[in-house]
Amino acid sequence: MTKYIVITGGVVSSIGKGITSASIGRILRSYGLKVGAIKIDPYLNWDSGTLNPYQHGEVFVTYDGMETDLDLGHYERFLDVELPGMSNITTGKVYQSVIDKERKGEFLGACVQIIPHITNEIKEMIRKIPESEEYDVVLVELGGTVGDIESQPFLEALRQLRNEEGHDNVMFVHVTFVPYLHAAGEFKTKPTQHSTKELRSTGIAPDMIVCRSEKPITDSLKEKIAHFCDVPSNAVINTPNATTIYEVPLIMEKENVGNYVNKRLNLNLDVKTTNLEQWKKTVDAIKGDKSEATVGIIGKYIELEDSYISIKEALIHGAAANGIKIDIEFINSDVDNLDEEKLSNLDGILIPGGFGERGIEGKLEAVEYAIKNNVPIFGICLGMHMMVIQFARRNGLDNANSSEFADNPKYPVIDMMEEQKKIKNMGGTMRLGAYECQLMDDSIAKEAYGENSIDERHRHRYEFNNEFKEKLTSHGLKLSGTSPDEFLVEIVEFDDHPWFLGCQFHPEFKSRPDRPHPLFTSFVKAVYDYAKNKN
């Protein structure tokens, strides 16, 4: 029988509910349990695919091609699993499904209402996941904060879930923030008390309260929270800011979270078998000593670093794999000219994915800089497009471009895929999810992966244009990865450079702290070599 751990949030958003959920999952996984995770996003969008990264950060893509909330990335990295796309439930999906059923006549005669129809649909969507994946425990994180109008139907459904599944099979964790007031010189528990009260008003009594804080809080403060929020004092967990997010499972385990969950959900585990030792080693490697090199991410959504979260994490994993720590600089590509001084500080350049014309010239300038100065450069999706365009422009195809940015360019080295031209809707219509790619011998890619064939996740409409294959390869561009039928170009390289690789897919989604992605490990190695030679 599957057990559910529901995670709600209070006080303020962005306190790290996703990391908290993922950390609880990591602890349970260390007991040998099969753990899955669901993110509920109470917004009306069907998925996060059409959301600007400034709204909710990066759009994470699952292997089966769902465009989801970035928390699924945290779950995959902490749990080392591949989650199915249905693990991201939105208000849009729930309502669409109910309305579709109504149109089919499935509720014939009934007046369709939030309770029971919407709440039943929510429970059905939640239960479908352990049914298909056979998880022992499923984490269910509810986005937003308790008290939001959008969350109400979900809270009601989750309350019902506890009644239906039984008290021993569903537990509630409420994550709050305990602020420190400098003027008063003390921590304040009142916001936690209020948000717990708000949660109780929906009929949900929390079993555990996780208090986020900037610095550790005292035991007497925990006692106070336990008393006012009516939970046992060993169920008040403090997670002060950590050096790295990967430390959070270790902090929570020190607070005996595993033990508490084990008892509360009657898991009957021998909790001494916890195996966070390996995880701890990875965390120590990630923490590192001092930084050895600097990688610049050249993008246009840099004001919100969450826009590039999986890339940032994959770089951190790749650095740890090389036994070093790196600094990551976010550089705005939406400027007339990139700051030369900033560029000269970099030991590696990464051009991430993106959409639309804004910020393109800055990215092309960064490619040119990397080629001229032999700086390792890694382009992902749109980043690969930039590398191909700049390579073409330097090799006789003046003003080469992608048809994404120019109407009928003379040299459309990147062009829309034929089947995409017929599609009118924007949502969920790109080339999405995992596709196979075969690798060419004597390439950076083949050496890094050590395999002939790989599969990686995609999210794009435009592709390398085969009309320019001959011209570009004659100037040294190497098409080192292609689809099995050799039609689609998946990886480009350039041998006359220390490390120049662009890929059409998003390798960052598959990197794990303890299983770093080979391309990131290989890139960081080149970056480190460059930094050492520079000094």
Q: Tell me which residues touch ligand GLN (CB under 6 A).
A: 353-355, 381-382, 404, 459-462
Neighbours of 241 (CB within 10 A): 13
| CB-nearer residue toward ligand GLN: 74 or 460 | 460
User: What's the token pair of residue 533?
Assistant: 């030679």
As a whole number of angstroms, the distance between CA 224 and CA 236 comes to: 10
Smallest distance, ligand GLN to C-beta of residue 382, A: 3
Residue 226: which residues within 8 A CB-CB, separation 6 or more? 209, 232, 233, 235, 236
| CB-nearer residue toward ligand GLN: 112 or 426 | 426
Query: Do residues 317 and 517 lie in contact, with contact meaning Cβ atoms separated by under 8 Å?
Result: yes
Smallest distance, ligand GLN to C-beta of residue 59, A: 8
Q: What one-character DSSP code corresponds to residue 280?
A: H
As a whole number of angstroms, the distance between CA 112 and CA 133 comes to: 30
Q: 506 catalytic, yes or no? A: yes
| CB-nearer residue toward ligand GLN: 353 or 513 | 353
As a whole number of angstroms, the distance between CA 496 and CA 379 comes to: 16
Active-site hit among 365, 404, 463, 508: 508
Smallest distance, ligand GLN to C-beta of residue 353, A: 3
Smallest distance, ligand GLN to C-beta of residue 414, A: 8
Q: 508 catalytic, yes or no? A: yes
Could you tell me which of 330, 298, 251, 356 has the C-alpha nearest to residue 23?
A: 251
As a whole number of angstroms, the distance between CA 340 and CA 343 comes to: 5
Query: Do residues 293 and 327 lie in contact, with contact meaning Cβ atoms separated by under 8 Å?
Result: yes
Smallest distance, ligand GLN to C-beta of residue 354, A: 5
| CB-nearer residue toward ligand GLN: 87 or 310 | 310
Tell me which residue has its CB nearest to ligand GLN: 353
Query: Do residues 83 and 129 lie in contact, with contact meaning Cβ atoms separated by under 8 Å?
Result: no
Query: Do residues 39 and 87 lie in contact, with contact meaning Cβ atoms separated by under 8 Å?
Result: yes
| CB-nearer residue toward ligand GLN: 17 or 461 | 461
Residue 376 in 3-state DSSP?
coil
Sign of CA dihedral 512, 518, 523, 527: positive
- Is-cis flag, bond preceding 216, omega within 30? no
Residue 1: which residues within 8 A CB-CB, separation 6 or more? 169
As a whole number of angstroms, the distance between CA 488 and CA 210 comes to: 48
| CB-nearer residue toward ligand GLN: 459 or 478 | 459
Could you tell me which of 464, 439, 330 has the C-alpha nearest to residue 386?
A: 464
Neighbours of 172 (CB within 10 A): 24
Smallest distance, ligand GLN to C-beta of residue 61, A: 9
Sign of CA dihedral 45, 47, 50, 52: positive
As a whole number of angstroms, the distance between CA 424 and CA 429 comes to: 9
As a whole number of angstroms, the distance between CA 173 and CA 10 comes to: 11
Q: How wide is the angle at C-alpha 5 spanned by C-alphas 41 and 162, nearest 5°?
A: 95
Smallest distance, ligand GLN to C-beta of residue 520, A: 17
Residue 184 burial by Cβ neighbours in a 10 Å radius (0-12, 13-18, 19+): exposed
As a whole number of angstroms, the distance between CA 58 and CA 307 comes to: 4
- Quote the crossing angle between the two packed helices 152-165 and 119-133, to the nearest 10°: 60
Smallest distance, ligand GLN to C-beta of residue 474, A: 25
Smallest distance, ligand GLN to C-beta of residue 53, A: 11
Q: What one-character DSSP code corresponds to residue 515?
A: B
| CB-nearer residue toward ligand GLN: 381 or 392 | 381
Active-site hit among 229, 381, 437, 503: 381
| CB-nearer residue toward ligand GLN: 121 or 404 | 404
| CB-nearer residue toward ligand GLN: 40 or 381 | 381
Active-site hit among 117, 174, 506, 517: 506
Question: How far, CA to CA in Å, does 511 sit from each of 16, 49, 77, 515?
Answer: 20, 21, 7, 6
As a whole number of angstroms, the distance between CA 295 and CA 325 comes to: 11
| CB-nearer residue toward ligand GLN: 41 or 415 | 415
Smallest distance, ligand GLN to C-beta of residue 462, A: 3
Query: Which residues are identified as catalytic?
Result: 381, 506, 508
